[in-house]
Chain A
Amino acid sequence: MASFTATSLSMIALASPSLVPSARISSPNSVSLSIKGRNFPSISLQPTGRRFQVTCAAKQETVQKVCDIVKKQLALPEGSSVTGESKFAALGADSLDTVEIVMGLEEEFGISVEEESAQSITTVQEAADMIDKLLQSKC
Chain B
Amino acid sequence: MSSLLDKARLMMNIHCLGRNLVTVSSSLHHVQLPAQKEAHFWYVLPDEIKDTNLLNQYFEILSPSEKESVFRMSGERLKKRAILARALVRTTLARYQINCQIDPKALKFKKNSYGKPEVDLQYTEDWNLPQLHFNISHTSSLIACGVTVGSPIGIDVEEKQRRLKNDVLAFARRYFSPDEIEMLTQIADPELRRLELIKLWTMKEAYVKAVGKGFSNSPFNTFTVRLGDHLKTSVDLRPRVMSKAHEITVEPPDDSKNISGNWQFVLLELYGSHYAAICIEQESTNRGKRSIPVNLMLRKTIPFVEDECIFGTDKAVVIGGLTTLLEC
Indicate whether A and B interact: yes
**A-to-B contact residues, CB < 8 Å:** 72-73, 80-81, 86-87, 90-92, 94-96, 99-100, 103-104, 106, 114-116, 118-120
Q: Which residue of B lies closest to A77 (CB)?
A: B75
Using A103-B171, A119-B215 as known contacts, say yes or no to A96 and B74 having CB atoms under 8 A apart: no
Q: What are the 9 A-B residue pairs with the smallest beta carbon separation, nearest first?
A: A119-B216, A116-B216, A115-B219, A115-B216, A119-B215, A92-B78, A90-B72, A90-B73, A100-B165
Min CB gap B145→A, angstroms:
16
Contact with A along B140-178 (1 / 0, CB 8 A): 100000000000000000100010111000110011000
Q: Which residue of B lies closest to A81 (CB)?
A: B74
Min CB gap B160→A, angstroms:
13
Q: Which residue of B lies closest to A73 (CB)?
A: B165
Give the distance in Å from the alpha carbon of A95 to the alpha carbon of B171 in the complex: 14
Contact yes or no, A118 B216, CB < 8 A: yes
23 contacts between A and B (CB under 8 A): A80-B74, A86-B74, A87-B72, A90-B72, A90-B73, A90-B74, A91-B74, A92-B75, A92-B78, A92-B140, A94-B139, A95-B205, A95-B215, A96-B162, A96-B164, A100-B171, A103-B171, A114-B216, A115-B215, A115-B216, A115-B219, A119-B215, A120-B216
Min CB gap A77→B, angstroms:
9
Which range contains the number of B residues in contact with the other chain?
A: 20 to 34
Q: Which residue of B lies closest to A114 (CB)?
A: B216
Contact yes or no, B166 A100, CB < 8 A: yes
B158: chain A residues within 8 A (beta carbon) = 96
Q: Which residue of A lies closest to B156 (CB)?
A: A95
Min CB gap A93→B, angstroms:
10
Q: Which residue of B lies closest to A116 (CB)?
A: B216
Give the distance in Å from the alpha carbon of A90 to the alpha carbon of B73 in the complex: 4
Min CB gap A95→B, angstroms:
6
A80: chain B residues within 8 A (beta carbon) = 74
A86: chain B residues within 8 A (beta carbon) = 74
Min CB gap A76→B, angstroms:
9
Most chain B beta-carbon neighbours within 10 Å: one of A91, A95, A100, A115? A115
Most chain B beta-carbon neighbours within 10 Å: one of A81, A90, A118? A90
B78: chain A residues within 8 A (beta carbon) = 90-92
Contact partner of A104 among B75, B138, B165, B175, CB < 8 A? B165
A81: chain B residues within 8 A (beta carbon) = 74
Contact yes or no, B165 A72, CB < 8 A: yes
Min CB gap B38→A, angstroms:
27
Give the distance in Å from the alpha carbon of A120 to the alpha carbon of B78 in the complex: 22
Give the distance in Å from the alpha carbon of A106 to the alpha carbon of B166 in the complex: 12
Contact yes or no, A96 B201, CB < 8 A: yes
B219: chain A residues within 8 A (beta carbon) = 115
Min CB gap A89→B, angstroms:
8
Using A90-B74, A90-B78 as known contacts, say yes or no to A100 and B164 having CB atoms under 8 A apart: yes
Contact with A along B195-234 (1 / 0, CB 8 A): 0000001000100000000111001000000000000000
Give the distance in Å from the alpha carbon of A118 to the alpha carbon of B214 in the complex: 11
Give the distance in Å from the alpha carbon of A87 to the alpha carbon of B219 in the complex: 23
A94: chain B residues within 8 A (beta carbon) = 138-139
Contact with A along B8-49 (1 / 0, CB 8 A): 000000000000000000000000000000000000000000
B165: chain A residues within 8 A (beta carbon) = 72-73, 100, 104
B138: chain A residues within 8 A (beta carbon) = 94
Min CB gap A102→B, angstroms:
9
Contact yes or no, A118 B215, CB < 8 A: yes
B175: chain A residues within 8 A (beta carbon) = 99
Q: Which residue of A lies closest to B198 (CB)?
A: A96
Give the distance in Å from the alpha carbon of A72 to the alpha carbon of B72 in the complex: 21
Give the distance in Å from the alpha carbon of A100 to the alpha carbon of B166 in the complex: 7
Min CB gap A94→B, angstroms:
8
Min CB gap B57→A, angstroms:
24
A106: chain B residues within 8 A (beta carbon) = 174
Min CB gap B309→A, angstroms:
28
Min CB gap B297→A, angstroms:
25
Min CB gap B214→A, angstroms:
6
B140: chain A residues within 8 A (beta carbon) = 92
Most chain B beta-carbon neighbours within 10 Å: one of A73, A81, A96, A120? A96
